[in-house]
């Protein structure tokens, strides 16, 4: 069997196993320096669009070169996992949290599936080295997702798919396994600017988000007081924000996920503004045990609630 045939067979196997493991999309790129992203990242950082997210300023070279993260890497396997919920939290008389945070922390859920996939690959192929990444380490996940053809980067800077929109978690397996790369997908945003027009804090310019102005940054990453200049602009979002996804025409094709671990607790579904405003530490710990909301911490979530409550 020729080397080309072996690589083709292994590529098909990896994609088949990815779907068997529950992932919705699987795309492959050659593990090489992201040359086209280097000047864009440098410009974004120099403009201060990372705000106080200092970790984005570190490991510049590693963000662009996967072989610095995994020596001997030959392929970057990108995987998408749907998180669009079958039931959204009530809009009326309520504050909002991003849909991805309804259930258990995606880092743990997806990493578990990635480990299972890695084991499946090793069982079928033999000795394979690699590392898995789920929104962790300096990996430019959306760039790899676009390069691997799983979708395109929309004007809101999120990965979009024609079949299912943008409600996906992105994970990578950087491996020494040589696989056939997929090509990038064309941009299908066209002349649409709904995400740009709908952002309350004007954080979005075409294909780029000013992280220091994004509601998700203010409600999750920022540890200081939220500046008064954005008062009245949060539209009741207290953890993350889905506005630019809610207005995106491609999300009319979003399909409900089948992951029980991402379903919201019944207590969370029944919350209203008064419940949020009276949230105490005990209730917070019970309601968000094992949740991504824990990233904001109790004090941060209370700060967000109090900030948004000024508009009531």
> Helix (H, G, I), strand (E, B), or coil: what is residue 60?
helix
- Please compute, for residue 145, the number of CA atoms within 13 A of its CA located in the half-sphere on the CB side: 28
Which residues does the annotation mark as catalytic? 135
Contact in structure between 106 and 79 (CB atoms under 8 Å): no
What spatial distance separates the first Cα and last Cα of the chain, rounded to whole Å? 69
Handedness of CA 28, 31, 36, 37 (dihedral sign): positive
Which helix (H) or strand (E) element contains residue 208?
strand 208-209
Distances in Å between the Cα of 242 and the Cα atoms of 20, 45, 82, 86, 143 are: 29, 24, 15, 15, 21
Distances in Å between the Cα of 306 and the Cα atoms of 3, 8, 58, 225, 273 are: 62, 56, 33, 11, 11
Which tokens go with 158? 């999120």
Summary count for the chain: helices (H), strands (E): 12, 10
DSSP 290: T
Which tokens go with 116? 């299972």
Cα separation, 138 vs 54, whole angstroms: 12
């Amino acid at each position: 069997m020729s080397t080309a045939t072996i690589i083709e067979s292994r590529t098909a196997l990896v994609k088949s196993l990815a779907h068997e493991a529950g992932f919705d999309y699987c795309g492959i790129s050659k593990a090489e320096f992201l040359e086209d992203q280097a000047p864009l990242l440098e410009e974004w950082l120099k403009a201060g669009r990372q705000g106080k997210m200092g970790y984005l300023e570190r490991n510049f070279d590693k963000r662009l070169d996967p072989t610095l993260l995994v020596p001997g890497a030959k392929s970057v396997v990108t995987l998408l996992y749907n998180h669009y919920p079958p039931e959204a939290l009530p809009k009326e008389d309520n504050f909002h949290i991003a849909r991805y945070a309804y259930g258990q922390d995606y880092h743990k859920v997806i990493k578990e599936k990635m480990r299972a996939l890695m084991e499946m690959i090793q069982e079928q192929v033999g000795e394979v080295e690699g590392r898995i990444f789920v929104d962790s380490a300096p990996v430019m996940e959306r760039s790899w997702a676009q390069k691997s053809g799983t979708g395109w980067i929309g004007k809101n800077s999120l990965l979009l798919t024609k079949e299912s929109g943008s409600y996906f978690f992105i994970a990578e397996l950087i491996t020494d396994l040589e696989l056939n790369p997929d090509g990038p997908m064309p941009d299908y945003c066209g002349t649409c600017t709904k995400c740009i027009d709908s952002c309350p804090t004007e954080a979005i310019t075409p294909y780029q988000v000013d992280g220091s102005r994004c509601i998700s940054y203010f409600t999750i990453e920022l540890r200081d007081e939220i500046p008064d200049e954005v008062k009245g602009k949060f539209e009741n979002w207290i953890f993350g924000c889905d506005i630019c996804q809610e207005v995106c025409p491609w999300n009319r094709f979003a399909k409900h996920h089948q992951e029980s671990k991402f379903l919201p607790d019944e207590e969370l579904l029944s919350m209203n503004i008064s419940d949020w405003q009276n949230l105490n530490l005990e209730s917070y710990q019970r309601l968000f045990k094992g949740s991504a909301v824990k990233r904001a911490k109790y004090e941060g979530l209370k700060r967000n609630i109090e900030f948004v409550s000024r508009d009531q």
